[in-house]
Amino acid sequence: MTLYADKRRALEEAFAERDAEMPRGKPRSVTRDALRRLKANKAAMTALVVFALIVLAAIVGPYLIPYDYETPDWNAFTAPPSLETGHYFGTDQNGRDLLARVLYGTRVSLLVAVIATTVSVVVGVLYGAVSGFVGGRVDSAMMRFVDVMYALPYILFVILLMVMFGRNVFLLFAAIGLLEWLTMARIVRGQTLSLKEKEFVEAARAAGVATFPIILRHIVPNLLGPVVIYASLTVPEIVITESFLSYLGFGVQEPLTSLGTLISEGTDALGAADWLLLFPGGVLVTMLLALAFIGDGLRDAFDPKDR
Amino acid sequence: MLSFVLKRLASTIPVILIAITACFFVLRLAPGGPFDQERALPPEVMANLRAYYHLDDPLIVQYLRYLGRLAQLDLGPSFVTKDFTVARQIGIGLPYTLILGGSAFLLAIVGGVIAGIYGALYHNRSGDWAIAAIAMTGLVVPNFLVAPILQLVFGVRLGWLPVGGWGDGSLRFLLLPVIVLALPHIARISRLMRGSLIETMNSNFIKTATAKGIGRRRVVLKHALRPALTPVVSYLGPAAGYLLTGSIVVEQIFGIPGIGRYFVNAALNRDYGMVLGTVIFYMALIVLLNLLVDLAYAWLDPKVRQR
């Protein structure tokens, strides 16, 4: 035992020294630090406000205006925007109020993005965490599968799924979410690899916690930062994919509408009724720009060394 | 070098095989078929049609037969446009897609590199900011929105360029589609180029070259450019894939009769043979382009060659 006595004493001294150096008082969490940095970022905060306004408008807007998105106004076909008639965004060829349609379309686009992002986050986090935590042969098999999926042209697959799911939009976008989780899985796996060597995981293991509860209770909550960043980058991607598919005529179908469908209709009316393209297009661009700034802001806030 | 090429080719074969398998089964399991019409065909006729195309065999037999034909580079018949085989339709569309995609690829490289060099040499000045703003817009605004806006401005309002179509294939007709297709990639390449050139210009060998009294132009073009190009070149592989899939939408908007239009129509009509054929063809093309890019990368970066 004497063999280890001086070693142990040295260790104890080192720990005592470290404890003395530790600042007293409430420890600051990583998340709180990140939020503080995010609040200081003016561009990101402005973008956040703009995006919140768009979301709010999409949710409550349709109840505040006197027109609904599918009833024609028999007095106004293809009417340009005007303050007097109350069609602030004008009407389309069928006399439907464009403002109502844009609000409704934004709502559908956002809903689809939320569904698909949720699916991709859940699948990506679980897949990455299991792969990283279990390790070994399971890990390399799981990651090889991700590599293979990466090599496939994504949009072609989406169109194939489209052929399969046909008109059921929400099922379709759950399916898009199922294709979008690859990057998330890679990021999460990398994080898990370093997390699983930490003492608290070892402590949990020593206490006899099974593998899956460790992943859910101890690994996943510590992944918050990268998951939030990447999810915020997934949302605009899915908004674009949805619009793209709807534009080609694969996505959301009449009488439902989405920003992509509206842009597609607007393109057909080009030169005759430009507002049909400009308003939904403007909303889409504003939303995408806001999301891009929010994503950048979050990345800077959670990952300061990357700046 | 040859073994490098062979190794790269061998590693892509399982990927392509998995992709073919997945596409095949997804398409066959989907409800509905290529012979569904508004008025249902008499069951005997349907049975005959299915027998003619061997659609009544067990799936696994169909699958193996398809693979066997594919090994002989036969993509099989198209189920909807019955007078043309899949290969023939792809042959008709290919020149258009290649001219469009190739021009966009060149424009993206040349435009992106020049903008990137400018941004790096004058960084944090007004020109750099202007380029960054344009690049941000190019990255965020999707092509199906940029296209109609350019059509509106240059085609309808100013009347300088045709709104769509291929015409005689002259520059006038190509200009808008090529710009739309290249824009996001010009943006991304310019950002990559800018970042890496700024870093290279700060490295020691550039300081040495400058200290020797070599002119600035020569330092940039002869010394800094080649090492700074590596991130750009590694982006070109994915970019080639994005350009091919991006051209699906651009062909649709501008009414260009390339492969993308055949693909979309085939997907809408459930033309199994055609959809599968186009997806396989796209993937083979992407793999080939990636291989070329890897070779270029090896030429540019001696470290990769030695490995």
**Of A155, A263, A292, which is closest to B144 when you measure between CB atoms?**
A263
Q: Which residue of B has its CA nearest to A159?
A: B267
**Which tens digit of pLDDT belongs to each residue from A20-54?**
665 555 556 666 777 777 777 777 888 888 888 88
For residues A242-246, average pLDDT? 80
- A275: closest CA of chain B, how far (Å): 11
- pLDDT tens digits, one per residue of B117-127: 888 888 777 87
- Which chain B residues touch A if contact means CB-CB below 8 Å? 12, 14-15, 18-19, 22-23, 26-27, 29-32, 136, 139-142, 144-145, 147-149, 151-152, 156, 163, 241, 244-245, 248-249, 252-253, 263-264, 267-268, 270, 275, 279, 282-283, 286
CA A306 to chain centre: 20
B249 vs A163: CB contact, 8 Å cut-off? no
Q: How far apart are CA A302 and CA A304, in angstroms?
A: 6
Residue A228 has pLDDT above 70, yes or no: yes
Check whether A106 has a pLDDT greater than 80.
yes
Whether A270 and B148 lie within 8 Å, measured CB to CB: yes
Contact at CB, A166 and B32, closer than 8 angstroms? yes
- 3-state SS track over chain A: CHHHHHHHHHHHHHHHHHHHHCCCCCCCCHHHHHHHHHHHCHHHHHHHHHHHHHHHHHHHHHHHCCCCCCCCCCCCCCCCCCCCCCCCCCECCCCCEHHHHHHHHHHHHHHHHHHHHHHHHHHHHHHHHHHHHHCHHHHHHHHHHHHHHHHCCHHHHHHHHHHHHCCCHHHHHHHHHHHCCHHHHHHHHHHHHHHCCCHHHHHHHHCCCCHHHHHHHHHHHHHHHHHHHHHHHHHHHHHHHHHHHHHHCCCCCCCCCCHHHHHHHHHHCCCCCCHHHHHHHHHHHHHHHHHHHHHHHHHHHHCHHHC
Amino acid at A41: N
Q: How far is residue B284's CA from residue A281's CA, in Å, rounded to a whole number?
A: 35
Which residue in chain A has the smallest CA separation from B153? A271
Which amino acid is present at B166? W
Three-state secondary-structure class, residue B152 = helix
Cα(B1)–Cα(B285) distance, integer angstroms: 21
- B85 three-class SS: strand
From chain B, pick out residues whose CB is under 8 angstroms from the CB of A249: 268
pLDDT at A234: 82
* Residue B107: band (very low, low, confident or very high) from pLDDT cuts 50, 70, 90: very high
Q: Do B156 and A271 touch (CB under 8 A)?
A: yes
CA distance B205 to chain A (A): 25
The dihedral region occupied by B203, where left means phi > 0, alpha psi between -120 and 50, and beta the remainder, is beta
CA distance B190 to B33: 46
Distance, in Å, from the CA atom of B234 to the CA atom of B238, rounded to the nearest integer, reads 8
Mutation choice for B interface testing from A157, A159, A283 by most B CBs within 10 A: A159
Q: Please report the ipTM that was assigned to this predicted complex.
A: 0.70
CB-defined contacts A:B, below 8 A: 106
Identify the residue with better confidence: B302 or A247: A247
| pLDDT-based confidence at residue A303 (cuts at 50, 70, 90) | low
Residue range B153-186, pLDDT digits in tens: 877 777 777 777 776 767 777 788 888 888 888 8
Query: Cβ contact (<8 Å) for A164 and B253?
Result: no
CB contact under 8 A, B145 and A260: no
Cα separation, A288 vs B260, in Å, equals: 26
Interatomic CA distance for residues A78 and B120, integer angstroms = 48
Picking from A243, A274, A292, the nearest residue to B142 by CB comes out as: A243
Q: Report chain B residues whose CB lies below 8 A from the CB of A250.
A: 267-268
Higher pLDDT, A302 or A281: A281
